[in-house]
């Protein structure tokens, strides 16, 4: 469904600190659970942001269900992104001072849905992740695992078909890593596509993973599925 | 419907965000409200002075003819009256009797005059007074007579027929109205003499022609038109208001620079939050709209607060902060209360003057933050 | 120059609008030269983001100009006391030769900004931003208008001299005086009302046709402009008479005063809003065939057309209500 054709990404173009993070990537991502793996600096996160419509490639083409999206104006890219992708960031990035529920509802704000509808959906998602009891609490009181699950609830509040997570288990112990993999399996069962970056062998070997993309120095070394 | 829902969701977030930084935002509103308060006080005050003056002038004659002697104003001869009345275009011409009386008991100056309107002429032995006169004389009850003394050992009794209302208080506060016979005997003005002549003309466009002809008929006289007086008042008030508004405006400018500074140098915390919002799917427009709500709430709050306090300051407390600058008239005035004179024009002006500089000062910094790269939080 | 707070405020609005216009025109030039959506360069992305700022600024300018327009008239009305012969805004505006031109320029600026915002709204519906070049070419045309309007206003305020004898509305809007205003006043009431009715019929017909077929918004805009003219003529020649219940008082400004319950706003707000929308629809209609607009545009055009029709209808209904309620009988 998502394909990249000769995609490169250069940051700080024309400036002394110019850096090319990706070199001519050709890749197709099928439904299922895909993991981008590789050492830090290999371009995993940049690739994730391009796949997730967060940024536009410097050269090359990206298509989503056959439609070229790499040259869309930022506004439409954003609109596409918030309906199609949910993001979980490495540091989770919940907004402090707001309640868990308020945080989870944030991505829905620009879409103009009825407040009650969004709230019901957010509560259902929190419930399925075992956070129903903490919905009205400020996010500061959450533990590490709970914070991650709140971030997943926020990513899925618009019912996006694709969940994207950057290094989701970097800050988790083994028990919580397994819990995360259970959630991924559950999302998979719902029919969602999940795209992760990781260098955690436990993730790569895990049952729900359907494809592994190994990266190095901004190029794809190998795709296993 | 969905546009409304979106605005409501953005507003919800804005309110929550403002509440989280409560102290900082309240301080901002307080500073802003102080500036609005200064501006609003100056405007309310000057406009109520102006309205009093206009109310008085509305009844003033088109033209006043004064007799000059040795370069000073002197009594004018009743014989000059027909000469003026004979000029084509003059509707009415009449002699006026008025003067000042220094009241040693209260230390105030009264304006004593014979009114031209028949319903304002008191019966013999009685006077109609402005609202300040009983007050400075400390009259405790209705019906206390007014004793006026021209020199040591002299005492003339007048009963107070009625007291003028306070709707034109600034100009009429010190008035004492008498009938002509009482006036002439009290001030010893011989019959056939008037203080000056009041002239009305049929067509205001012909006023200059009338003045021209009248000055040919009475070469020694001085002619003062109503517009001369109005302009003098207006210039006085405008100049004073202008000075105050200019000062308040400087304060507003300083505040705008402060606001722009603040919006530019967003705290790291706020910048991070906006980065998160962009990353989870907020568009540049959404962030701008949210920030505009924030600016609207801040400047709207400051407008309401500043205006209400200014109203109380000017119309209830008598503008203690700058009454002496703006009024500075006779001793009779200091504790007089202004009639509230605010209208949609003033409020509209004030609202525009409050929100516009703030919006203008913050829009570019706001846009700059809103235009952050959505993937910045991932790097 | 009269040192008046509303005058200072109006000049502030003009100055800010001029600043926005100049900056946007400069940016517009670089858009015309370098806009290339196919490019993925950082420069293009920055330009895209900058258009968001221009849209925001223009929306603010339009709101401020609309507020300034009513403030301008309100203030002129209030200052009438300062000028011999002036009884309302008309006299004050007549004090020097810049008053009415400044008013007309300000109205033109308001319409221009509103039309531009409609274009902007339509442009942002298409995934390839199909109107961007046209939009920024329009900015280059609007900028001089904003500057002219500010300049006229400044000249007007600087040349306000209280020793000038001016004429009030009863002088200006009488058939006995030469000029456009008295020609408007001199129109026979029956003719004026018929013209308004016919213009209303045309607006309704073209509007409904546009709603049904999704085309013909250009005609609707023309009909709307015609309705605007007919409405103003009817106001000066007839509606004002009913409002003041006086067969000789033609002034279109006095109805904005509190003495008449601010009823003027019930006339002018819908009329100006609807006319602005109609003109905007007309300006956007040549682009309706663009591939990227084919899907999203019709719904938006439909909604804006409905709003415009509602505005025109509101003007007509207020007119009927005023005439029915009035004690003046012109036809009988």
Residues A45-80: tens digit of each pLDDT: 899 999 998 888 989 999 998 888 888 888 899 999
CB-based contact, B352 to chain C, within 8 Å? yes
SS3 A33: strand
Mean pLDDT of the B232-254 span: 71
Per-residue pLDDT averaged across C2-22, rounded? 87
Cβ within 8 Å, pair A76-C127: yes
Look at B148-152, C59-63, C205-209, C237-241 and tell me which has the smallest mean pLDDT.
Answer: B148-152
Q: B226 CA to chain C: closest CA distance, Å?
A: 10
Question: What's the rounded Cα separation, in Å, for the pair C49 and A77?
Answer: 13
CB contact under 8 A, C56 and B288: yes
| DSSP sequence for B139-200 | --STTPPEEE-SSTT--EEEEEEEE--STTHHHHTTEEE--HHHHHHHHTPPTTEESEEEEE
Q: Average of pLDDT values for B73-98? A: 87
pLDDT of residue B329: 45
- Is A142 part of any domain? no
Q: State whether C140 and C275 are in the same domain.
A: no
pLDDT at B334: 41
The partner residue sitting opposite A49, judged by closest CB among B6, B283, B375, is B375
Please check whether residue A28 lies inside any domain of the structure: yes
Q: Which residue of B has its CA nearest to C16?
A: B360
Q: Which of C28, C115, C137, C29 is nearest to C65 (CA)?
A: C115
A200 part of a folded domain: yes
What pLDDT, in 10s, does the model give residues C179-225?
667 677 778 888 999 999 999 999 999 999 999 998 899 999 999 99
| Beta carbons within 8 Å of C176's beta carbon, 6+ residues apart | C182
Q: Choosing among A11, A73, A78, which should be mutated to test the C contact, i.e. which has the most C CBs within 10 A?
A: A73
pLDDT band at B168 (very low <50, low <70, confident <90, very high): low
Handedness of CA A48, A53, A57, A61 (dihedral sign): positive
Same domain, yes or no: C20 and C131: yes
Which residues in chain C are contacts of A56 at CB distance < 8 A? 40, 45
Q: Are residues C146 and C217 in the same domain?
A: no
Mean pLDDT of chain B: 82
- The answer to whether B349 contacts chain C (CB < 8 Å) is yes
Report how far residue A124's alpha carbon sits from residue A137's, in angstroms, rounded to the nearest whole number.
Answer: 16
Mean pLDDT of chain A: 90
Q: Is residue A141 part of a domain?
A: no
Which structural domain range is residue A33 located in? 2-94+160-224
Mean pLDDT along residues C247-269: 85
| Domain contains A120 | no
Distance CA C301, CA C288 (A): 9
CA distance B270 to chain A (A): 10
Which of the given ranges, A154-158, A204-208, C287-291, has the highest pLDDT on average? A154-158
CB contact under 8 A, C45 and A72: no
Burial class (CB in 10 A: 0-12, 13-18, 19+), B125: middle
B238 touches chain C (CB under 8 A): yes
Predicted confidence at residue B211, as pLDDT, reads 85
Q: What is the ipTM of this complex?
A: 0.92
**Is residue C75 less than 8 Å (CB to CB) from chain B?**
yes
Residues of B (24-63) whose Cβ lies below 8 Å from C = 43, 54
Q: How confident is the model at residue B169, as a pLDDT? A: 55
C-alpha distance from residue B123 to each of A215, B137, B179, B182, C255 (Å):
110, 22, 7, 9, 44
Least CB-CB distance to A82: which of B3, B13, B281?
Answer: B281
Whether residue A12 is contained in a domain is answered as yes
* Residues 6+ away with beta carbon under 8 Å from A198: A35, A36, A37, A167, A168, A169, A170, A204
Contact list in A for residue B10 (CB cut-off 8 A) is 109-110
Chain B residues closer than 8 Å to C165 by CB = 204-205
CATH number at residue A64: 3.40.50.300
Residues in C closer than 8 angstroms to A71, CB to CB, are 37-38, 40
Same domain, C163 and C178: no
At C283 the pLDDT is 94
Q: Nearest CA to CA, how far is A175 from chain C (Å)?
A: 43
Average pLDDT over residues B136-143: 77
Q: How many domains does chain C have?
A: 2
Number of domains in chain A: 1
User: What are the structural domain ranges in chain B?
Assistant: 2-56+232-378, 98-188
Q: Across the interface, do C57 and B352 touch by the CB < 8 Å criterion?
A: no
Average the pLDDT over A92-103 and give the result.
Answer: 92
pLDDT digits (tens, 9 = 90+) for B252-290: 777 777 777 776 666 778 888 899 999 999 999 999 999
- A-C contacts at Cβ under 8 angstroms: 24
- Write B317-320 long-range contacts (CB < 8 A, 24+): B319/B41, B319/B45
What was the pLDDT predicted at B330? 40
Question: Residues of A with CB below 8 A from C49's CB?
Answer: 74
Chain A interface includes C41 (CB < 8 A): yes
CA distance A47 to A37: 11
Give the domain range for residue C124: 1-167
Tell me what pLDDT residue C114 has.
Answer: 92
Q: Which of A82-91, B318-327, C186-195 has the lowest mean pLDDT?
A: B318-327
Pick the CATH number of B98-188 from 3.40.50, 2.40.40, 2.40.50, 2.60.60: 2.40.40
Which of C3 and A87 is assigned the larger pLDDT?
Answer: A87
How many Cα atoms are found within 13 Å in the side-chain-facing hemisphere of B294? Answer: 23
* Secondary structure (3-state) at B125: coil
- Average of pLDDT values for B303-312? 93
Mark whether C23 and C92 lie in a shared domain. Answer: yes
Of B189-198, C170-179, C197-206, C273-282, which range is least confident?
C170-179
Answer yes or no: do B6 and A110 touch at CB < 8 A.
yes
Interface test with chain A among B267, B281, B293, by most A beta carbons within 10 Å: B281
Look at residues C167, C194, C221 and tell me which one is the last residue of a structural domain: C167
pLDDT over 80 at C227, yes or no: yes
Same domain membership, residue C226 and residue C102: no
In a domain, A164, yes or no: yes
Least confident of C5-19, C101-115, C155-169, C266-280: C155-169
C296 and C177 within one domain: yes
Cross-strand pairs, B196: B96
pLDDT of C107-134, one tens digit each?
Answer: 999 999 999 999 999 998 988 899 999 9
Q: Which chains would you list as touching C if contact means 3+ CB atom pairs under 8 Å? A: A, B
Residue of C nearest to A71 (CA): C38
Q: Is the pLDDT confidence value at B304 over 90?
A: yes
């Amino acid at each position: 469904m998502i394909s990249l054709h000769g995609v490169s990404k250069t940051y700080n173009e024309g400036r002394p600190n110019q850096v090319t993070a990706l070199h001519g990537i050709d890749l197709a991502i099928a439904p299922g659970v895909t993991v981008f793996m590789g050492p830090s600096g290999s371009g995993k996160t940049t690739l994730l942001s391009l796949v997730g419509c967060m940024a536009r490639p410097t050269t090359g083409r990206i298509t989503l269900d056959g439609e070229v999206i790499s040259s869309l104006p930022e506004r439409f890219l954003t609109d596409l992104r918030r309906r199609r992708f949910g993001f979980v960031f490495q540091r989770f990035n919940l907004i402090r001072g707001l309640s868990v529920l308020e945080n989870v509802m944030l991505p829905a704000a620009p879409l103009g849905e009825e407040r009650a509808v969004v709230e019901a959906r957010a509560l259902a998602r929190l419930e399925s992740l075992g956070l129903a009891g903490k919905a009205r609490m400020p996010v500061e009181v959450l533990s590490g695992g709970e914070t991650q699950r709140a971030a997943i609830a926020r990513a899925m509040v618009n019912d996006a078909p694709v969940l994207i997570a950057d290094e989701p288990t970097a800050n988790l112990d083994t028990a919580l890593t397994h819990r995360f993999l259970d959630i991924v399996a559950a999302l998979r069962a719902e029919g969602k596509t999940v795209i992760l970056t990781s260098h955690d062998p436990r993730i790569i070997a895990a049952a729900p993973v359907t494809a592994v993309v190994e990266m190095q120095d901004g190029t794809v070394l190998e795709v296993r599925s | 419907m969905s546009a409304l829902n979106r605005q409501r969701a953005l507003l919800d977030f804005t309110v929550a965000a403002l509440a989280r930084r409560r102290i900082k935002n309240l301080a901002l509103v307080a500073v802003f409200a102080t500036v609005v308060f200064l501006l609003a006080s100056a405007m309310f005050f000057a406009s109520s002075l102006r309205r009093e003056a206009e109310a008085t002038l509305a009844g003033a004659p088109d033209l006043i003819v004064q007799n000059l002697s040795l370069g000073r104003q002197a009594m004018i001869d009743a014989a000059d009256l027909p000469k003026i009345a004979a000029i084509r275009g003059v509707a009415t011409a009449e002699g006026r009797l008025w003067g000042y009386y220094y009241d040693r008991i209260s230390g105030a100056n009264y304006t004593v005059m014979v009114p031209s309107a028949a319903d304002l002429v008191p019966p013999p032995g009685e006077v109609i007074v402005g609202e300040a006169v009983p007050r400075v004389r400390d009259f405790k009850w209705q019906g206390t007579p007014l004793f006026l003394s021209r020199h040591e050992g002299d005492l003339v009794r007048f009963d107070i027929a009625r007291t003028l209302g306070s709707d034109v208080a600034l100009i009429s506060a010190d008035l004492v109205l008498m009938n002509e016979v009482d006036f002439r005997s009290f001030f010893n003005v011989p019959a056939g003499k008037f203080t000056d002549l009041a002239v009305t003309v049929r067509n205001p466009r012909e006023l200059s022609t009338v003045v021209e002809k009248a000055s040919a008929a009475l070469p020694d006289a001085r002619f003062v038109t109503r517009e001369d007086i109005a302009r003098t008042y207006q210039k006085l008030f405008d100049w004073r208001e202008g000075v105050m508004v200019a000062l308040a405006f400087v304060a507003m400018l300083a505040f705008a620079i402060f606001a722009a500074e603040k919006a530019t140098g967003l705290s790291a915390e706020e910048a991070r939050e906006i980065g998160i919002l962009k990353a989870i799917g907020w568009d540049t427009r959404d962030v701008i709209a949210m920030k505009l709500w924030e600016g609207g709430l801040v400047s709207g709050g400051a407008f309401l607060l500043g205006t209400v306090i200014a109203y109380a300051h000017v119309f209830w407390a008598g503008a203690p902060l700058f009454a002496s600058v703006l009024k500075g008239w006779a001793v009779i005035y200091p504790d007089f209360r202004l009639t509230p004179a605010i209208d949609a024009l003033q409020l509209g002006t004030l609202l525009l003057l409050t929100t516009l500089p703030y919006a203008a000062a913050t829009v570019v910094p706001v846009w700059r933050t809103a235009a952050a790269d959505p993937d910045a939080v991932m790097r | 120059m009269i040192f008046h707070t509303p005058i200072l405020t109006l000049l502030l609005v003009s100055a800010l609008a001029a600043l926005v216009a100049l900056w946007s025109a400069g940016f517009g030039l670089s858009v015309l030269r370098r806009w290339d959506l196919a490019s993925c360069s950082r420069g293009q992305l920055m330009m895209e983001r900058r258009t968001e700022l221009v849209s925001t600024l223009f929306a603010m300018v339009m709101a401020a100009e609309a507020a300034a327009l009513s403030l301008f008239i309100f203030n002129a009305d209030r200052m009438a006391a300062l000028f011999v012969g002036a009884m309302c805004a008309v006299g004050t505006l007549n004090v020097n030769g810049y008053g009415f031109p400044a008013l007309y320029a300000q109205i033109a600026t308001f319409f221009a900004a509103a039309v531009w915002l409609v274009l902007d709204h339509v442009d942002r519906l298409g995934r390839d931003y199909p109107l961007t070049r046209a939009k920024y070419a329009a900015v280059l045309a609007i900028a001089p208008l904003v500057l002219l309007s500010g300049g006229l206003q400044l000249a007007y305020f600087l040349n306000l001299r209280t020793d000038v004898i001016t004429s009030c509305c009863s002088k200006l809007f009488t058939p006995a005086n030469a000029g456009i205003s008295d020609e408007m006043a001199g129109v026979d009431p029956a003719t004026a009302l018929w013209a308004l009715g016919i213009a209303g019929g045309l607006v309704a017909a073209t509007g409904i046709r546009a709603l049904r077929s999704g085309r013909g918004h250009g005609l609707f805009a023309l009909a709307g402009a015609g309705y605007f003219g007919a409405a103003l003529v009817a106001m000066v020649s007839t509606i004002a008479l009913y409002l003041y219940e006086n067969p000789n008082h033609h002034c279109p400004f006095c109805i904005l005063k509190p003495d008449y319950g601010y009823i003027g706003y019930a006339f002018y707000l819908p009329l100006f809003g609807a006319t602005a929308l109609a003109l905007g629809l007309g300006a956007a209609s040549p682009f309706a065939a663009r591939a990227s607009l084919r899907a999203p545009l019709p719904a938006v055009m439909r909604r804006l057309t409905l709003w415009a029709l509602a505005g025109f209808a509101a003007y007509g209904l207020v007119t009927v209500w005023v005439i029915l309620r009035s004690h003046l009988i012109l036809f009988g």
